[in-house]
Chain A
Amino acid sequence: AQTVTQSQPEMSVQEAETVTLSCTYDTSESDYYLFWYKQPPSRQMILVIRQEAYKQQNATENRFSVNFQKAAKSFSLKISDSQLGDAAMYFCAYRSARRTSGTYKYIFGTGTRLKVLA
């Protein structure tokens, strides 16, 4: 079974600085997708960025980028020019490209709480 591990329960970053959140996963599959979700204090889950495993190029979305290392099964999120609004829980998630019991299951890590210091 696949697992997702986020080893940093909490991280802090100074406003305007850069921070990297770690995520590792375990799978025997070669075709899958990875996601980072943000959960602010409102608790609404918001997609930050996604990565297809077959793509070597790292995904980027404005100030958010990933470092995807397929062989190492690592998927870290880099937030540049951190803003106060970036303060949230961040979850890493894995989704197989194959169906399980008729649908696609998403597996989430335990989350990293990011604090942004003014």
Chain B
Amino acid sequence: DGGITQSPKYLFRKEGQNVTLSCEQNLNHDAMYWYRQDPGQGLRLIYYSQIVNDFQKGDIAEGYSVSREKKESFPLTVTSAQKNPTAFYLCASSMSGRAPYEQYFGPGTRLTVT
């Protein structure tokens, strides 16, 4: 079955440590996205990528980094510079083009930093 996988589902880290969240898709989608979800704030865009080796900052990119070395993979690193990293993180992908393509979402990773 085609879809998006995110691992792990729950992640715990100590303050000051970098942590990388995995996102893989086998939908052959060009575009991939990372969102952060906090209560009452909806989905906020962290980074997005249209093609391999290219990505753009979203609305809240500070303290995060990404890479896009393969079309299928778009890992997100939460660095120690992110002031409030505890949140639910969603990865998404979509087809490109003007048609009303929706985003497909992974199951998410809940990150807790103490």
Contact = CB atoms under 8 A, between A and B. Distances in A.
A108 B48 contact: no
Interface in A35-88: 35, 42-45, 47, 50, 52
A35 B102 CA distance: 8
A9 B105 CA distance: 22
Interface residues of B, number: 28
How many chain A residues sit at the interface, stated as a range, is 20 to 34
A2 to B, nearest CB: 12
A103 B56 contact: yes
Contacts of A95: 100
Nearest to B90: A45
A47 B94 CA distance: 12
B105 to A, nearest CB: 4
A6 to B, nearest CB: 8
A110 to B, nearest CB: 4
B5 to A, nearest CB: 12
Interface centre among B58, B94, B101, B102 (most CB of A within 10 A): B102
B108 interface: yes
A111 B90 CA distance: 15
B88 A43 contact: yes
B46 interface: no
A117 interface: no
B63 interface: no
Interface in B54-83: 54, 56, 58
Interface centre among A95, A102, A103, A108 (most CB of B within 10 A): A103
Interface centre among A9, A43, A97 (most CB of B within 10 A): A43
Interface of A: 6, 9, 33, 35, 42-45, 47, 50, 52, 91, 93, 95, 97, 101-106, 108-111
